[in-house]
Amino acid sequence: MNQTEFQAQMKEYACLTEEKLKELVPEQPQLTEAVLYQAMRYSLLAGGKRVRPVMLLAFCSLCGGNAQAAVPFACALEMVHTYSLIHDDLPCMDDDDLRRGRPSSHKAFGEANALLAGDALLTKAFEVATDEKQAAAVGSSRALQAASILAQAAGDHGMVAGQVLDLLNENKDIRVEELADIDAKKTGAMIRAAAHMGCALAGASQEQTDAADRYARALGLAFQIQDDILDVAGSTEALGKPTGSDAQNEKGTYVTLLGLTKARQVAADLTRQAEQALSVFGEQAEFLRMLADSLAARRH
């Protein structure tokens, strides 16, 4: 697979997700509560990279599943990711005014609408993942399993726990192991969910699922380290949010704890680990191998 083919495949998965998201959360100008849908779409269709949906669809396809039937579940995953960004930006949380180069949701729609748009997206994710028609295409049991993986990754053992830990550690000295533990929950859980949901929807074997998990674990951490690197080494323009915001919030990051050079080296090692985990899939896994590479090389 060359770069052009890789980019084409990326685009196909991302477009499938994009189109379905628009369909699942339509504009509703005729409704009095139209602002709710505006706020949901504002964040959901803000040009995110769709890394999690792409990974879900790629693993589903790699394990012999029907990627087309998995698209609604990829959308559910992206809805949960988007809700977490909206709530994370709120004044009582990180109080961020910018997200993806635009005013964050509460800046654009007010705090109450941002809170409710987040709540609605989280709920919609499970509406989509438990939908009767969606389920019929993959089977009730696999649909239920995918929805269950999503809920577990997003909840009190996963992403929400990570947020709580993150808040507890603000303005505190932190060791790199603690930081990795927080990130494993805060961002890693949802990236692993992408891999697990893809496998579950395809009815993958335990061996395949374990390999996918190793890939996603390594990639999730590499992704977070890369985020920290970009926060100091990137530009506001490319990132769509102010750089140096972590330092400003006095948050411990991989860069402050390890230094830029060592952080880059760890991220590169983890990316290699992720690629090695794919060996069980052979040639077929070339797309996911190139995905790991492209995330390691990303500029935003």
Contact 146, 129 (CB under 8 A): yes
Cα 62 to Cα 201: distance, rounded to the nearest angstrom: 11
293 near a copy of itself, rule: CB under 8 A: no
Smallest separation, CB 45 to a copy of itself (Å): 15
Least distance from C-beta 118 to a copy of itself, angstroms? 8
- And the tokens for 65? 């599943």
- Side chain identity, residue 260: L
Q: Which is nearer to a copy of itself, 152 or 245 (CB)?
A: 152
Considering only residues 19-38, where is the footprint of a copy of itself by CB under 8 A?
A: 25, 31-33, 35-37
DSSP-assigned letters across all residues of 106-175: HHHH-HHHHHHHHHHHHHHHHHHHT-HHHHHHH-HHHHHHHHHHHHHHHSTTTHHHHHHHHHHTTTS---
> Looking at beta carbons only, is 77 or 135 nearer to a copy of itself?
135
Tokens at 94, concatenated: 């990180």
Question: Judged by CB under 8 A, which stretch of 89-97, 216-224, 243-251, 254-262 contacts a copy of itself?
Answer: 89-97
| C-alpha to C-alpha distances, 121 to 70, 162, 281, 287, nearest whole angstrom | 18, 19, 34, 29
Binding mask 94-133 for a copy of itself (x = CB under 8 A): ----------------xxxx-xx-xxx-xxx-xx--xxx-
Piece in contact with a copy of itself (CB under 8 A), picked from 14-22, 67-75, 156-164, 239-247 = 156-164
Residue of 97, 156, 207, 269 that binds a copy of itself (CB under 8 A): 156
CB of 144 to a copy of itself, least distance (A): 5
**Torsion angles phi and psi, residue 92, rounded to 5:** -75, -10
Q: Does the protein bind a copy of itself through residue 280 (CB under 8 A)?
A: no
Nearest CA to 154 among 135, 131, 126?
126
| Distance in Å, CB of 23 to a copy of itself, minimum | 14
In terms of Cα–Cα distance, which of 72, 70, 76, 198 is closest to 125? Answer: 76
Whether 190 contacts 158, CB under 8 Å: yes
Taking the complex as a whole, how short is the minimal distance between the CB of residue 71 and a copy of itself, in angstroms?
Answer: 18
Residue 122 or 292 with smaller CB distance to a copy of itself:
122
The distance of closest approach from Cβ of residue 236 to a copy of itself in the complex, given in angstroms and rounded to an integer, is 26
| Residue 226 φ/ψ, nearest 5 degrees | -60, -40
Contacts with a copy of itself by CB under 8 A lie at 25, 31-33, 35-37, 40, 87, 90, 92-93, 110-113, 115-116, 118-120, 122-124, 126-127, 130-132, 135, 140-141, 143-145, 147-148, 150-152, 154-156, 160-161, 163-165, 167-168
